[in-house]
Each structure stands twice: as C-alpha cells, then as structure tokens.
C-alpha cells in the first residue's frame, strides 16, 4: 500500500524543542558554546566555542593582553569597546572586576601592599649580560605602602661566565601592583661591597589576577599602566586587537540569541528539512 503524501499542515516546520532556554542563554553567555552543549546541540557548541574563543584570544594576543579592560571614570577615557567585549562572558569579566573591586592604591607606582620575595631578572650598569637572582623587599612597619630595605642576591652573566653578586637597592621605584603586563618592573641603584654597582632595571612575575584585564589610564605616558604608552608601544596592533575582541563579543551575542530562541525557520520549510538541519547542530 502506497504512503499518502503529507498535507500542507503536516509539512509545516516542527521547531526544535529547546532545553531550558533561559539557563542555556546564561551558560552561552558565560562560556561560548556551553549553552548549546547543555542543549545537546553538539555541532553548534563546538563551532561557537572554537570560533568565538579563538577570535577573542587571538585579539588578546595581538594586543599583548592590554586590549580588554574597563574604564568609565571620564568621558574621554570610556571604553565603549568593552560594551562589545563584555558578551564573551567569563574571559572578559575580569576586566570589570579589576576596575570595580580593586583599591586605588594597587594602581599607584611604588606602592607595596606587602613584602616581596621573588625571582627577578634585569640589567645592571657595567654588566654586559643579564643579571638574575632573588629580590627581597621588607615592608615598612609604618605602613602606607612604603618599604624599608630592598636586597638583591644572584648572578651576573657576562661573557659566558657567571659571577655571584649581592647588594642593596636604593631609590627604588616599582611598577603598579596591578598592570597590563605579566611582569612587574623595578628600577633602582644597586650597591655592593667590592662588586659592580650602578643603575639596576629588572622585572619579576605578576600573578595572573594582577595583570589580566588590568585597566589603562589617561595619565603620564611614561607610566606602565598608561593608555598612551600602550598605543605607542603596540601601534596599530592595539586597534587590531580591540577589533578582534569586539567581533568575538558580538558573535557570542548571536550565539546567546540562538541558545534562547533556537534556529530561525521559514514558513515553508518542511519537517524533514528543519529537523535535519538542526539535528546536525
């Protein structure tokens, strides 16, 4: 017996039954593709996660980690680009937390919230190669973010040989605790008994919480967290990185909409076409 052809009403599209659209939308915002993974729409989950996150982190790399930040203190320094970057979710939210949850002192140069005992590498006047070792800084008991004594103990690498050096650093200045670079700078005058001495310039590692999404400011261009300095050092890469991260945010906005409302169907699509298309996603 031959099968009866489908009536026009039977040929109307059967929309995909979305699993908890509100929760899926929240998950899609937090991590691109996660909402679609929750709805078991595997193809789109992988597609959105790979494309959006790759675009975002490519832009972040192009901009040396400095292009995603939040600043809204004055009209001339407002980061309108962040209104797009925000929609990437968790990868962009630390920028908002840095601007709103950190104290003002952590953005000041020279301010120390606690004593330091870190690996440091840099250069020293009179030494052709690198100087690397351990930098220790004792906090001033009087508080106020000052320090009492800074000491450096390590080796000077020169001409393929290593020489032990040890001394104190005076007139030290430190980059802000929170800044846009994974490494924090220190500058001072190195003094030692009988060894090399002179201007010392070095860096030591920042924890990821102290640099990822750190804000930039319209301040003295010589400062480490200056917006003008970032533009000067990166040139066109700064704008390119901003564009990449903005595109990623706008793409995820579309992905969130898809997770909440599902795919768009035309009125004349058949059940087989509609279900087949979404079955692959």
Q: Tell me, what's the pLDDT at 87?
A: 97
Q: Are residues 204 and 238 in the same domain?
A: no
Q: Are residues 116 and 197 in the same domain?
A: yes
pLDDT, average across residues 3-31: 72
pLDDT, average across residues 25-36: 96
pLDDT, average across residues 100-115: 83
pLDDT, average across residues 116-134: 90
Are residues 256 and 87 in contact, defined by beta-carbon separation less than 8 angstroms? yes
Q: Tell me, what's the pLDDT at 114?
A: 78
Q: Burial, 155: exposed, middle or buried (Cβ in 10 Å; 0-12, 13-18, 19+)?
A: middle
- Residue 279, pLDDT > 60, answer no
What is the reported pTM? 0.79
| Alpha carbons 8 and 27: distance in angstroms, whole number | 37
What confidence tens digit (pLDDT) does each residue in 140-187 have? 655 555 676 789 999 988 767 788 889 998 888 888 889 988 999 999
Q: Which of 10-19, 29-38, 68-77 has the lowest mean pLDDT?
A: 10-19
Q: Are residues 118 and 53 in the same domain?
A: no
What confidence tens digit (pLDDT) does each residue in 215-256 have? 988 766 667 788 888 888 899 999 999 999 999 999 999 999
Structural domain count, the chain: 2
pLDDT, average across residues 267-273: 44
Is residue 108 very low, low, confident or very high in pLDDT (cuts 50, 70, 90)? confident
Three-class SS state of 277: helix
Provide the residue range defining the domain that includes 236.
15-107+224-281
Q: What is the mean pLDDT of the chain?
A: 83
DSSP string, 180-212: SSSEEEEEEEEE-SSS--EEEEEEEEPPGGGTT
Q: Tell me, what's the pLDDT at 161?
A: 79
Q: Which of 30-34, 60-64, 229-233 has the lowest mean pLDDT?
A: 229-233
Q: Are residues 146 and 191 in the same domain?
A: yes
- Residue 188, pLDDT > 60, answer yes
Domain boundary among the residues 162, 177, 210 is at 210
Q: Which of 9-13, 70-74, 257-261 has the lowest mean pLDDT?
A: 9-13
The secondary element (H helix, E strand) that includes residue 258 is: helix 236-261
Domain membership flag for residue 215 = no
Do the bridges between strand 131-139 and strand 183-191 make them parallel or antiparallel, or are there none, so unpaired? unpaired
Q: Tell me, what's the pLDDT at 105?
A: 84
Please give the residue that has the higher pLDDT: either 67 or 142. 67
Q: Tell me, what's the pLDDT at 5?
A: 55
Q: Are residues 47 and 77 in the same domain?
A: yes
Q: Are residues 124 and 183 in the same domain?
A: yes
Q: Are residues 85 and 134 in the same domain?
A: no
Q: Tell me, what's the pLDDT at 142?
A: 58
Q: Tell me, what's the pLDDT at 265?
A: 60
| Alpha carbons 111 and 25: distance in angstroms, whole number | 42
Q: Are residues 237 and 276 in the same domain?
A: yes
Domain membership flag for residue 9 = no
| DSSP alpha helix (H) spans, 63-212 | 82-85, 93-101
Please give the residue that has the higher pLDDT: either 91 or 8. 91
Domain membership flag for residue 218 = no
Domain boundary among the residues 210, 234, 258 is at 210
Quick one: what percent of the chain has pLDDT higher than 90?
A: 50
Is residue 199 very low, low, confident or very high in pLDDT (cuts 50, 70, 90)? very high
Rounded to the nearest 10 degrees, how much is the dihedral formed by the CA atoms of 142, 184, 101, 53? -170
- Pick from 60, 33, 64, 29: which is nearest to 46 by CA? 33
Q: Tell me, what's the pLDDT at 56?
A: 98
Domain membership flag for residue 242 = yes
pLDDT, average across residues 1-26: 66
């Amino acid at each position: 017996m031959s099968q009866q052809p489908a009536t026009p009403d039977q040929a109307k599209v059967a929309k995909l039954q979305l699993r908890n659209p509100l929760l899926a939308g929240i998950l899609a915002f937090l991590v691109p593709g996660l909402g679609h993974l929750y709805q078991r729409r595997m193809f789109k989950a992988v597609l959105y996660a790979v494309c959006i996150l790759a675009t975002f982190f490519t832009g972040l790399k192009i901009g040396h980690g400095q292009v995603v930040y939040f600043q809204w203190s004055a009209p001339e320094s407002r980061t309108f680009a962040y209104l797009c970057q925000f929609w990437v979710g968790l990868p962009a939210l630390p920028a908002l937390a840095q601007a709103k949850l950190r104290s003002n002192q952590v953005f000041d140069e020279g301010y120390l919230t606690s004593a330091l005992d870190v690996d440091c590498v840099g250069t020293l006047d009179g030494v052709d190669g690198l100087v690397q070792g351990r930098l220790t800084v004792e906090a001033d008991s009087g508080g106020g973010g000052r320090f009492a004594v800074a000491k450096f103990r390590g080796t000077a690498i020169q001409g393929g040989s290593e020489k032990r050096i040890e001394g104190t650093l005076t007139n030290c200045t430190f980059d802000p605790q929170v800044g846009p670079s994974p490494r924090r700078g220190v500058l001072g005058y190195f003094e030692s008994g009988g060894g090399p001495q002179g201007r010392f310039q070095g860096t030591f590692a920042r924890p990821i919480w102290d640099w990822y999404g750190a804000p930039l400011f319209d301040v003295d261009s010589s400062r480490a967290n200056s917006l003008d300095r970032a533009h000067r050092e990166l040139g066109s890469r700064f704008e390119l990185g901003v564009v990449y991260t903005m595109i990623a945010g706008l793409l995820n906005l579309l992905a969130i909409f898809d997770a909440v409302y599902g795919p768009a169907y035309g009125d004349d699509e058949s059940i087989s076409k509609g279900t087949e298309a979404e079955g692959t996603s």
